[in-house]
Structure 1
């Protein structure tokens, strides 16, 4: 493990101030669990969490699962993404993303994230993403 929960949280607060107020690293182990506390900025008409907000959660969670394995490599970037929205998240409840790395190569990493409403087992969205890892200089 190159970055533990505390290191990932510090990285989030230092370099991702645009979302640091709504994301928190819950746990790090075989993967990363990231907690999202949506506010009114993240809701769509009807009061449900917006797709772009859930995409952000999945993207950051998978990114952190990769950094957990390779260390702080800020220029690791998303190069491909697929997300399936399966059901409406529970209202007024945090969302959790459980992310893990499926394949880690020298220049590419592939990860997956399952998003669930806190306290619920049903997956509300599932994402698979590919990231380019910059060459070591």
Structure 2
């Protein structure tokens, strides 16, 4: 692992402070990360379910953490593709969690997947595949 949990937490707070709205880092490993979002009213859409954008943001930031845990603190690694499938309705006022893992990390890109889970449900509520563009070394 290139980055410790504490280093990544500090980096995210300094370089991506708005990311805290999308969840907090819970665990970090070599190419994987877990994040948690405490669902608030701002994350709900009409009908009392967690909004798609809230789940997408959580998935994106979780995989960003997993990638940086693998390659180091590379601020300009950016999302180049995100595909998400919403599988079932999350529990409206329960936290959601993202389990992100890198499937492949190359010199210029990284591909991973994220399962979104809702506290109170056994099965995932969403599944995302995400590709990140990694800037060339200078």
**Is the TM value for this pair above 0.5?**
yes
Match of residue 46 from structure 2? 45
Alpha-carbon distance in structure 1 between the residues aligned to 2:25 and 2:102: 16
- Cross-structure match for 1:7: 7
Matches within 5 A, 1:88-103: 88-103=89-104
Stretch of structure 1 that moved more, 4-13 or 73-82: 4-13
Of Structure 1 and Structure 2, the greater helix share is in 2
Of 83-92 and 19-28, the range deviating more from structure 2: 19-28
What is the CA distance between 1:21 and its match in structure 2? 4.6
Q: What's the C-alpha RMSD, in Å, of the aligned pairs? A: 1.4
Unaligned runs of 5+ in 2: none
Higher mean Cα deviation, 100-109 or 119-128? 119-128
TM-fit CA distance, 1:126: 0.2
Post-superposition Cα deviations, 1:92-134, rounded to whole Å, max 9, x if no partner, equal 1111000000000000100100000135321000000111000
**TM-score scaled by length of structure 2:** 0.93
More divergent stretch after superposition (28-37 vs 13-22): 13-22
**Which structure 2 residues correspond to residues 4-83 of structure 1 after superposition, within 5 A?**
4-21=4-21, 23-30=23-30, 31-83=32-84
Q: Give the number of aligned pairs.
A: 137
Q: Which runs of 5 or more structure 1 residues have no equivalent in the other structure?
A: none
